[in-house]
Amino acid sequence: MNATAATKAYAKIGVESGVSTADPHKLISMLYQGALLAIANAKNGILRKDIPAKGAAISKAIAIIDEGLNASLDKKVGGELAQNLSSLYKYMGSRLLAANLNNDIAALDEVARLLNDLKGAWDGIRQPIAASAAAVPQPAMDVQPKTANKVQLAYARG
């Protein structure tokens, strides 16, 4: 096995084991990260004039946003927040399609900024949960701060 094949195999195992051991909160964060990586790869494809790579990367980003992030939303429990996120994800998909058709780096950058903002907010609600769990003994039932709980309710529980 050559070094490249070994590296790819290790990376695949690392991602698979990361997914299998991640909690639902971490999985959403991983989806954001995956979409951001796909957008970066699409941008590189445009800059290298590698149209197949650009198309594949944009397709991957759209799939992550639509089939991962948007599909994970629980619109009944999440209410207006889940509906707004769904609309934003649909907008991102349309911007990515435009980026693909027009080699539009600005559209890729716009979607990346939106995803970065969402990922930052999502990751930020994790710290208060962890900090409060460490500071206060938790009862047997799962109790989380109200602000984090409201945001997390937008996503379906696995």
Confidence label for 118 from pLDDT (cuts 50, 70 and 90): very high
Number of domains in the chain: 1
Q: What is the CATH number of the domain that holds 103?
A: 1.20.120.340
Which range has the top average pLDDT, 9-18, 42-51, 68-77? 42-51
Average pLDDT across the chain, whole number? 81
153 token code pair: 């309710």
Structural domain contains residue 1: no
The reported pLDDT for the residue numbered 156 is 61
Task: Read off the pLDDT of each residue in 100-111 and give the average, rounded to a whole number.
Answer: 98
Structural domain contains residue 142: no
What pLDDT, in 10s, does the model give residues 1-21? Answer: 444 444 444 445 445 545 566
Structural domain contains residue 29: yes
Say if residue 65's pLDDT is above 70: yes
3-state secondary structure the chain: CCHHHHHHHHHHHHHHHHHHHCCHHHHHHHHHHHHHHHHHHHHHHHHCCCHHHHHHHHHHHHHHHHHHHHHHECHHHHHHHHHHHHHHHHHHHHHHHHHHHHCCHHHHHHHHHHHHHHHHHHHHHHHHHHHHHHHCCCCCCCCCCHHHHHHHCCECCC
Of 19-33, 92-106, 141-155, which gets the smallest average pLDDT? Answer: 141-155
Q: Comparing C-alpha atoms, which of 114, 119, 116, 112 is closest to residue 151?
A: 119
Which range has the top average pLDDT, 120-124, 145-149, 150-154? 120-124
Structural domain contains residue 16: no
**d(Cα 122, Cα 26) in Å, to the nearest integer?**
9
Phi, psi of 103 (to 5 degrees): 50, 45
Structural domain contains residue 6: no
Query: Percent of the chain at pLDDT above 90?
Result: 61
What pLDDT, in 10s, does the model give residues 35-44? Answer: 999 999 999 9
Structural domain contains residue 138: no
**d(Cα 110, Cα 81) in Å, to the nearest integer?**
21
Structural domain contains residue 65: yes
Question: Which structural domain, as residue segments, surrounds residue 111?
Answer: 22-125+147-152
The reported pLDDT for the residue numbered 130 is 53
Structural domain contains residue 8: no
